[in-house]
Structure 1
């Protein structure tokens, strides 16, 4: 690594790492982050730049001239989750820099301030309230009664606070998930004993559903499509490890609690999200999307958009599966495609990337329940383990591929519209997606499906 660089180059590298940290830590894919960082380099007049994102590390290399030594710097980045508050502010700052509204020093300062504010944000009660609402939504989707829904809210709130505390003390992810699963079971069992009800499984699943496998599948799929196989493999490993920790904690708690509660409360039962009441299904989906959006930092217009998209996803699914009797997987794929396209159309209006919108909107349809039940069936000999896990795998595939297809079709349509607009305005020029004022600033939130390994995109 060469440390002999000019002060101006040092500022650019600082901006690249601040921007990369903000995007990756808030849930952006490797492909979209790479494209954004290359856009910053192009705006700064840097050519011959290479950006490499691996699991936990960002590397930027720059060769000022053909006969000079390359300058390379690396930056370690911890894994992240969807954080709407941080992500929207980071994207807005980057866009202002690309549009020329901010100088490089101002953009750097803004990104650093957002990083510090995000680290010490005191609005933790919004996150906790969001997870409580999300727990209520999943309980309604799983046909839980009023008492069970109340229990799901309480358990979700406690588990959210537990995860927050474990994160602050730096506990490893797998142990945090195991502790969350363990406490969720004991809290649900205690609540059921106090209220003399027997829907503990719904209460547990409702509190843990958003933390089960599936919610990061879009980034995995998109990284795979765009050739970032190492990043995709790393995300998959993170999903597997965290889910294993969660299931281990739940299984250990069930085994420990069973002798004390007897057979009156069944902690391991098969539940489903099938319901004949459309109102409650749509209400549950709206609460799930809204709760997760609130927990992730979504406010005002973004929160409203997430609630509407989550409700629409459930409406489309019910119409296809029940009114038109389309088979489950085809209905899920179709819903994913429709919602993926709508998220691309809405992304600019709410200043939030389509991936983030789609992740939240399709959360009620994710197969975390099937993964949960499949794994516990293996431990306790309940039901058909292989069937549950295979259903979860196929559902994840249908949702992810459907959503990605919808994004791709709409984004390509928007590119063609933009091309026609450009050619009418500049008939003597050739449209290029890499033109800063035509792509990188205005459409930085569009999903990326090309392979941005270098600064040169295929020309139209």
Structure 2
């Protein structure tokens, strides 16, 4: 294999891992990697994405043996810093502004900076702000909100340490749930308050969502069923680990705390005050964006989008009495479309924006309460879990529908603009690098299995 081909493969694997680990769908990632191959002059290329693995194969000449390389991808959390810089480098390469050597150097520099930069303080602060937001959304008082901030920050530091020592994901989540309950119980006993459940949920709700929820739906729509199944299993395993840790901690703590602190009780979002509800949503979205490395304009954009999602939900359910699940679907559709429109302005794909913006509405609370209700016989666990599933479906399908409608409208507008600028040109073949690069930020709902996807 030639040195140039080696660099191309390294570039492909760096780009693919950066996209997949932060929630990009298999179809979007495949389209991007095929576009890179086309720009690099690599023909007869096939990209295959399965659970935790990326395979790229190409045939140098007709009749020759194909060359294949496999790259393993470990699960990861949303990293806005890495994702935005990766997409910027990919776009500049596809537009011909940089060559493969410079693109490869930039990715190596990103990787080195990622290893050396200290992110613990903004990650910890971000999760503290997120915990504050969830506590406000659930109607927690000042003391409970303070406890939610402290527990969220401690759990964040625990996850960071477990990641550094290479602990398996399910045990990391179990440890996080276990520590969250013990810390919340201890804090509530010291402060003589009884909102431990709100404190625990506030610290763990974001962990229940996962960064791949929306990509599961997109992979299913585009026919990547194996990838969708793998992402779904990853979400289920991590959630099961978290719930198990919480359940064990509750069972272990109950004999010592007695009835003074209620660790298992049903709580719901407090929508009585619009101000506090929207403020809580803004803190949740902004906190998660900060914890994920989103700064400056991206932090502002995600905070505003989170506030807007909550405001739209309140308007529909409180002013117009729209049924809850339909309102969630409608909000998801609107926010999904807006995320596509602003994605290029903030240089971040719509999936990442939508994940953060809709986080306050994600049914982490219902998943948590449904599972614990089953373990401890409180309330109707079946109803809670069914509500969680329906809410997940409405958010994911609504967000995906909004992305699809707006991305198609933007693509048609770009097509008309191309025809006015090049009346004798063919949009399918002329300046292919232009439309491939401009399409990176848009979600893909087609099936680009064996070549760069042609457009009509």
Match of 2:425 in 1: 429
| Long gaps (5+) in structure 1 | none
Instruction: Give the conservation status (yes or no) of the 8 Å contact 2:31–2:452.
Output: no
Match of 2:108 in 1: 112
Match of 2:183 in 1: 187
Match of 1:139 in 2: 135
Pair 1:123–1:433, CA change in 2 (3 A): farther
Range that drifts further, 148-157 or 53-62: 53-62
Partner SS for 1:441: helix
| Long gaps (5+) in structure 2 | none
Match of 1:368 in 2: 364
TM superposition score normalised by structure 2: 0.98
Match of 1:390 in 2: 386
Is residue 295 from structure 1 mapped to residue 291 from structure 2 by the alignment?
yes
Partner SS for 2:77: coil
Aligned residue among 165, 168, 190 for 2:161: 165
Match of 2:7 in 1: 11
CA distance in 1, matches of 2:294, 2:277: 22
How far residue 6 of structure 1 moved from its aligned partner, in angstroms, is 2.1
Pair 1:64–1:372, CA change in 2 (3 A): same
Match of 2:273 in 1: 277
How far residue 432 of structure 1 moved from its aligned partner, in angstroms, is 2.1
How far residue 457 of structure 1 moved from its aligned partner, in angstroms, is 2.2
How far residue 217 of structure 1 moved from its aligned partner, in angstroms, is 1.2
Is residue 216 from structure 1 mapped to residue 243 from structure 2 by the alignment?
no
Partner SS for 1:265: coil
Instruction: Give the conservation status (yes or no) of the 8 Å contact 1:213–1:371.
Output: no
How far residue 384 of structure 1 moved from its aligned partner, in angstroms, is 0.3
**1:302-321 superposed matches below 5 A:** 302-321=298-317
Deviation string for 1:203-236 (max 9, x for gaps)?
A: 0000000001455210111111111111110111
CA distance in 1, matches of 2:202, 2:431: 47
Instruction: Give the conservation status (yes or no) of the 8 Å contact 2:95–2:434.
Output: no
Match of 2:38 in 1: 42
Deviation string for 1:154-175 (max 9, x for gaps)?
A: 0000000000000000000010
Match of 1:80 in 2: 76
Partner SS for 1:66: coil
How well do the aligned residues superpose, as a CA RMSD in angstroms?
Answer: 1.2
Pair 1:362–1:277, CA change in 2 (3 A): same
How far residue 434 of structure 1 moved from its aligned partner, in angstroms, is 8.7
Partner SS for 1:50: strand
Partner SS for 1:51: strand
Deviation string for 1:21-42 (max 9, x for gaps)?
A: 2222233222211111101001
Aligned residue among 235, 243, 246 for 1:239: 235
Match of 2:170 in 1: 174
TM superposition score normalised by structure 1: 0.97
Match of 1:329 in 2: 325
How far residue 433 of structure 1 moved from its aligned partner, in angstroms, is 8.0
Aligned residue among 43, 47, 50 for 1:51: 47
